[in-house]
Each structure stands twice: as structure tokens, then as C-alpha cells.
Structure 1
């Protein structure tokens, strides 16, 4: 799987491949499966539709590792407009953002200024829902500054949450601090091709690391501290494990949630929602859809079938 992920990451980062795919009318069908819309308006409409199905959304503007100040400004405006639209529609003002989208490639000071301004906008448009700016976690080179950024926002009294990757060796220590802080934490297994010095690499070891992190986030101490766990996984075994631990430790269904990607295991998402599990979908929008979408193929080779069917003109 590691080699497969590296291949897909290579395709995601290729400018020539990206241009070719994003200009292909055939591949647009592939994009619609994983992407909520070409702009914020379409993304907002998709979020409204999901809400009718008892599914919440976290909006994300497509783009990564951005070093162009103009593109950084575009990203900030797009997310600012999304916050306003979500608030006006009575939906959760729930945004996800990569630090490298908002200036980290230039300097972490620039990133902090942009992210802080965006978190203030989330607060300004917040209603009575789960309103928060969720910091996505990228590769291990930015783990420490991303966590520092989260703690800065929290110290400023802003609605911030952070993503933690279970497969990193450092994660148990990071979770201990986040639990003490009463944080909202999105837990993912980890999808970057990290070395064994930084992360566990075997599937069994990744699963075991995830289970241990679930136990930490659903511990009695975490509940007492006001932690809000978000389990980012499509693995039904991990969801079932989380349900079991939550019930055993006295967590209500409204005190934690499962987050999945738009277009991945849609029937299972609806099944969970129907039985009362809080489900949120990561809903990307924007024009640069290829790098994001091909990473979904990297995470699960079965998604490659969607590519071929799209190119052949077929549906899902």
C-alpha cells in the first residue's frame, strides 16, 4: 500500500497531470463523486442537501502547499464566504483548512494571522451548532507547528479543533495534552507515506494505534474534561469499536461523531445516520479537484474503479 500511496501522491503533485485531468470533461464525472462543487455556492447547496439526510458537513476549499500570496488570499476569501453562507443558512459553521493553504509555506507567522482571522469569522457567524475551524493535519514535517497553532487559537478563546494522526509515534503524548485541554479532536489513521522512524507502517499496527487512540479520546477523563472526539474513518470495525467504548464509558450519542469523506461509502454513511450516530462529511469545493480526488484513490485502490467508469462515461 505504501508504494501505491506514493504513486498517487506523485500524480497529485504533477502539474501537467493536474492540468490534463482538470480540463477533461470525462474526468469531471469522477470529480463530482468526491467534490461538493466548483465554488462556495455549490458547496453550500450540497451541504444543505446533506442536512436533509441528517448528515452534517465540514467545508474545505481545495488547494494544498500554496506559496502564492494571491492564491492564499483567494483561499481565505472562499472560506470566509463559506462561513457567512453556512451561518446564514442555519448550518454548522464548520470549516476545515490545511495550514499550508493559508501561508505556512511562506511563514508560520503569516499562517497564524490568516487562520486567526478565519477563526474569528467562524465565531462571528456561529449559531447553535458545532461551529469550529478544524485544522487538518498534513505530513509529519508540520505536525508540531500545526499543534502549536491550535493551542494558540484556543488560548485566544477562538473555536478551534485539530486533526491527529493515530499512526505517528508521537500521538499518545499529543493526545494526552489535548485531552487535558478539553479539545475537539478529529482522529484519523494517517494517509501520508511516512517512514518507520516517524510512524507505524503495517496495517495491523495502524489499526491497533487507532484503537488505542479511540480509548484515550473516549475515556472517562476525556468526557469529564469536555473532549469532543471526531472519528475520521470509513472502517466499520473502528466505528463499531468506538460505539462500544463510548457506550461502556457513558458517552451520549451527541458527545462524539464520525466523519467521512464525501463520496466514500455513501450507503454506510446513511446507515449510521439512520441509527442515530452523528455523521459529518468532509465536503471539498473549488476548481483544483484533481490532487484531492486522486489521493482518495491512493487511500483505497478500489476507488480506481470510479476513475475508469468516469472515463468510460459511466456512473457510480
Structure 2
């Protein structure tokens, strides 16, 4: 991991820096670039604004690795309220959740109960189209139980989807099962610092693993089984490759998506949407915006300019 990224992760994990930044009246513009709002109402307003521009959203309540039962319940309530709001607005009831923010740090039984409740909220408020509860994928220590959670809830007929990381050695086998299941799958390259026994570590190898996974998810078999691929990427080469494979294998444009983070490469997001590609933005909301936002700076140092401009402007 580059030194710059390690520095930004250190800032993200610092409680004192987080408190200072989140209390600053100068950082509103910086937060707004990467975060959809400080509460569910602001997140919903941002999702409606995106829809007017032809972009969809997946809402995520900020927080991870939560062991406090009160905070877990607050997360569940926030997302439940957003599910209702999305349905009332006629938008996709599309939520993203980390298992570790919904009880996995206490027990996977507790997590399963909370996730199942949210999936039922999605089903009750959605219209049956692209309405889904997407399970985010965290570090490799929780890969197996997260996939088990997906398969359990899927077998119960709940509208769930799961994220897989292309760089893991196990992903080829996981995708084979998910394709056979006709799953909705979000594919990402993988960003955790995993050892070589768990994942490929070189950039070229990660790219090649992602291309192989694209081919699997856009295969004729996947299309026939009703798979819905979501390609989480900011790499224009990977998106172009997915477009090519989809066209060759006869996929309709409304049967797969490209997903990106709010605030990252907005001009390209618009370009893809104008070209007819279904684009969804990962839209986080909540009070704890600093750790998430500064990680985005770690991924692209150019984003540091937004920090300085926000502090200089004094805009909220």
C-alpha cells in the first residue's frame, strides 16, 4: 500500500482528527462531494437529484466494525427509514450494508436478523425492479460468512445481492456458484491489503482477475440464468471491456450496471449515462463522514485540492 494511502488511513482512524474535522464549519463542501448528506432526509434529496440527471443511487449509512448494540440499532433504523423514503419517491429501493455495521461484530446470528429485517423493508417498499439490499464485502476474514449470509437470505426469497472481490484466489469458485444461482453481483477489484496466499497482489494481476470475472458475469450462461452484474469500477478500461463483452454476448443495456462512488470522476459518470450505460452511484450518508471522505483522498491525491478549497471558502 502506498505511503500516501497509509497516511490518509491513519487520519481516517484518528478519533481526534475526526472530531475536529466533523465539527469544522469550513468542511461542508468537502463532505458534500463524497457524502450524500448528514441524515436520511439529505441522502434522499441527493438521490432524487441524481435521478433527475439519469443516475441511480445505492444508499449506505456511514459506519463500520460496530460493536455497540445502540449504534447497530440506529443504523438499522436509519436504513429502514431510507427504504421507505426511496419507495415513496418512486426511486430504486437500493441499499448497501456492511455486515460488520449490522451485528457481525457481536454474532452472525444477530447480523442475519438485522439484515433480513432490512431486506424485508426493501421488499415491502420496492416495486420489484432494481430494488435490492446489497451486501458489501469487507476484508477476507468475513468473506465466507458474508457469502453464507447472502445464500441463506436468497434461499428465503429475500431481495439480496452480494459484492465479490476479483483479486481473491477463491473468487472464481464463488462466482461459479453465484452464476448458477442467478445472483445479482457487484464486482470490485478489491482494496484490502491481503497477503499473497489470499489474493493476487500486483496491479496487472488484479486487472486480469477483474477481466476474467467480467467474462464470467457476462457469459451467455449468466444471461440465461438471470444474473444481474454490477461492475464497481472507476477504471475506464474495465468499463469499456464490460461494454464490449456485453455486446458480444447479447446483453441488453438495462440488465447490467456500472457503479461508482459519489464524487469520483463525475464527468465520466455523465458520459457513460449519456451513452446509455446504466450508472449507479454509491451514496453514503450520516454524521461520521470524515473517515470515509479522507479515504477517498487516499485513493486519489488530486482530491486533496477539495480539502483546501473547502477550508478556504468557509462554505457549508
TM-score, normalising length: structure 2: 0.97
Shift of 1:308: 2.6
2 CA distance for matches of 1:197 and 1:314?
48
Contact 2:27–2:314 (CA under 8 A) maintained in structure 1? no
Q: Which residue of 2 aligns with 1:157?
A: 157
1:1-316 equivalences under 5 Å are 1-313=1-313
- Contact 2:133 2:161 survives alignment (8 Å): yes
Kept after mapping to 2: 8 A contact 1:91/1:129: no
Query: Hey, what's the Cα distance between the residues in 2 that align with 1:125 and 1:144?
Result: 29
Give 1:2 deviation, angstroms: 4.0
User: What SS class does the counterpart of residue 276 from structure 1 fall into?
Assistant: coil
Q: Kindly provide the CA deviation profile for residues 64-108 of structure 1, in whole angstroms up to 9, marking residues without a partner as x.
A: 111110000000000000000000111000000000110011111
Deviation at residue 256 of structure 1 after TM alignment: 0.3
Structure 2 distance, partners of 1:175, 1:2, is 30
Show CA shifts across 1:151-205 (max 9, x none): 0110110000000111111111111111111100000111112222221122111
Question: Contact 1:231 / 1:257 at 8 angstroms: preserved in 2?
Answer: yes
Shift of 1:128: 4.1
What's the RMSD between the two structures over aligned residues?
1.3
Aligned partners of 1:300, 1:166: CA distance in 2, in Å?
A: 21
In structure 1, what is the Cα distance between the partners aligned to 2:5 and 2:193? 7
Counterpart-to-counterpart distance in 2, 1:298 and 1:170: 27
TM-aligned CA distance change 1:41 to 1:189, over 3 Å: same
Contact 1:18–1:291 (8 Å) recurs in 2:
yes
**Structure 1 residues 171 and 7, CA gap change in structure 2 (3 angstroms):** farther
* Residues 261-316 of structure 1 deviation map (CA, whole Å, 9 limit, x = unaligned): 1111111111111110000011111100011111212222222222232233289x
**Given that residues 5 and 193 in structure 1 are in contact (C-alpha distance below 8 angstroms), is that contact kept between their aligned partners in structure 2?**
no
Unaligned runs of 5+ in 2: none
CA contact (8 A) 1:11 1:17 kept: yes
Question: What secondary structure is seen at the aligned counterpart in 1 of 2:313?
Answer: coil
Dislocated runs of 4+, deviation >6 Å: none
Residue 140 of structure 1: CA displacement? 1.0
- Judge conservation of contact 1:57–1:94 (CA < 8 Å) in 2: yes
Alignment partner of 1:129: what SS?
A: coil
The answer on whether the counterparts of 2:26 and 2:314 sit within 8 Å (CA) in structure 1 is no
Residues 109-133 of structure 1 show CA distances to partners (whole Å, capped at 9, x for unaligned) of 1100100111011101111430000
Distance in 2 between the 1:76 and 1:297 partners? 28
1:27-69 superposed Cα distances (whole Å, 9 cap, x missing partner): 2221110001111011101111111111001011111111110
SS in 2 for 1:312: helix
What SS does structure 1 have at the residue aligned with 2:245?
helix
